[in-house]
Amino acid sequence: MKLNPFSKKSGYYARIKAEHAEEQRKLDALNTEVTEAQADYEAKAQASADLERRNSGKPYLSDAESAARRMRDEAYQRAEELRSKVFEQQRKTNELRHIIEGPDKLEQSRAAIIDLRHRRGNLQAERAQSEKLIAKIDKRIGELEQRIAAETQSASEAMAAAESEFALPETLTRLDVELRVAHTTRTNLASKVQTLDEEIKSIPEQLRQAERTFEHAQATVAEIDLNEQLPNLYDLLARASVADHACGYRSRNEYKYEIEIPHDHIEAARAKLAAEMPGYTGAQ
């Protein structure tokens, strides 16, 4: 049985991880050198300033002052050169880190998208429940206001007819307290709905950012997968490129060979990538 040459990985990702570890080691060493060089510069700058302050009455710089300034300037230049090296080393390290973090970022952004969609559903359900409670309380407030109006009219008539001290009906007092509690509850629920609306409103932008991160991570992982398999094609690509160059296509670079990807494969890849997005429904 002939083995599928694409079932075996080339070790590309493992190599990139090893390269990153080495570049990070170099970066850490450079950062240590920068710290030491900066401390050396500051010490020499202070020493130069102290020496010039002690000799401030002289109209010219002494040899010692000139030497101190020179050492200060050399130390500054050394620190600046090291900072420049750190910047370049940081760039190299970040490029490799971008690759090795791709798979983790893909899973993290997938989880973030799922969590955001789940959270949006919960918030919307909670908002709907709060709106139902508000409607129920609004109905109760209307009923209470009608009953209070009727009880108030009845109490007013009783007070007018009373020949002795008048006692306010307990029913009216209870209804009035219930009305105040209902208004307070409605206010609290309305405030809660407003807060929920703000949270729900913020989710689409968070989702867009998470989906964008997911797409970038997809691209990184796809590139990793490609580089894991490319060595299996290098012999074939090199043969085709060298043969083209040898038979007269001298304007072509032997180190580059352009191929056209069939439309069906592009569309299939597009569909597969879209389907990997959490919450994908098949809509374009």
Q: Which of 19, 125, 12, 33 is nearest to 85 (CA)?
A: 33
Element (H, E) at 264: helix 263-276
Residue in this structure with the two tokens 């990153």, named with its chain if needed: 20
How far apart, in whole angstroms, are the C-alpha atoms of residue 256 and residue 250?
Answer: 12
Instruction: State pLDDT tens for residues 229-280.
Output: 988 888 888 898 888 888 876 567 788 888 899 999 999 999 999 999 998 7
What is the reported pLDDT for 167? 75
Q: Which of 93, 94, 106 is nearest to 216 (CA)?
A: 106
- Phi and psi at 257, nearest 5°, equal -140, 115
What is the reported pLDDT for 8? 59
How far apart, in whole angstroms, are the C-alpha atoms of residue 106 and residue 217?
Answer: 5
Question: What residues of the chain score a pLDDT lower than 50?
Answer: 1-6, 284
What is the reported pLDDT for 283? 52
